[in-house]
Amino acid sequence: MIEELKEKIAGEITLSNEPGMTIRKWREEFGLSQNQLAEAMGVSHSVISDYESGRRKSPGAGLIKKLVDAFIELDRETGSQTISKYVPEAMSECIISMGEFRNGVPMDQFIKEIGGTNLNPDKLPQKMVYGYTIVNSLKTIMLLSSNDYMKIYGWSTERALIFTDVHYGRSPMIAIRAHPLTPALVVYDKPDAVDPLAVKLSRLERIPLVSTDMSVETIVERLEKYKEGI
């Protein structure tokens, strides 16, 4: 868990006989320069330099919290590669449910099954859907590296990616457009709203964008029969 990683880093700095060296160790582990770290923390470069060189004594709890928060946030901005090394549970936090279909399900039938509404007005070629992955939108974007992101596609990219915890829907479509793999369709489960940019991106990528108000539990229950090949 992210909070456990934060506690690990903060604990090491606090208990270290050479806290400056420990700060430097973690800064380098996250691949950050002193300037990057200082800017993220809102302090001058000399503050970081002084602590790492030992010119300043052990930092207080407030500064350590700023340090740790900066490590995590900066790593998230670049794909969470360091976080993934220490938090292998990230995938289980992100993926709510995942299933493969024995036979393909026509896209229109799939959309009807989940009570969906196609938000993309373009007439796109009908595809067969061979599986689904339900993910937490925010956690997926914040925690998964590029390599981890590929794992949500399971056996086939011809699947539905169903995002929960969607506020405006821009970030999931931006993430999909930036990745070389694309799903058969994208579904937003109970979105607060859908930004026109998300619809525009779906049109550019020629991926149906679907919205549903059905609960995750009901979606999984409805799709179970296709997993069983009925």
At 86, is the pLDDT very low, low, confident or very high (cuts 50, 70, 90)?
Answer: confident
Predicted confidence (pLDDT) at residue 198 exceeds the cutoff of 80 = yes
- 2-86 homologous superfamily: lambda repressor-like DNA-binding domains (1.10.260.40)
* CB contact at 8 A, 135 and 220: no
Q: What are the φ/ψ torsions at residue 129 (nearest 5 degrees)?
A: -105, 125
Domain residue extents for the chain: 2-86, 90-227
CATH number for 90-227 (one of 3.40.50.300, 3.20.20.80, 3.30.300.30, 3.40.1390.20): it is: 3.40.1390.20
Q: Which residues contact 154 (CB under 8 A, 6 or more apart)?
A: 98, 100, 131, 133
Question: What does the alpha-carbon distance between residue 191 and residue 95 come to, in Å, rounded to a whole number?
Answer: 18
Question: Residues 200-217: what's their mean pLDDT?
Answer: 91
Q: What is the pTM of this model?
A: 0.60
pLDDT of residue 1: 57
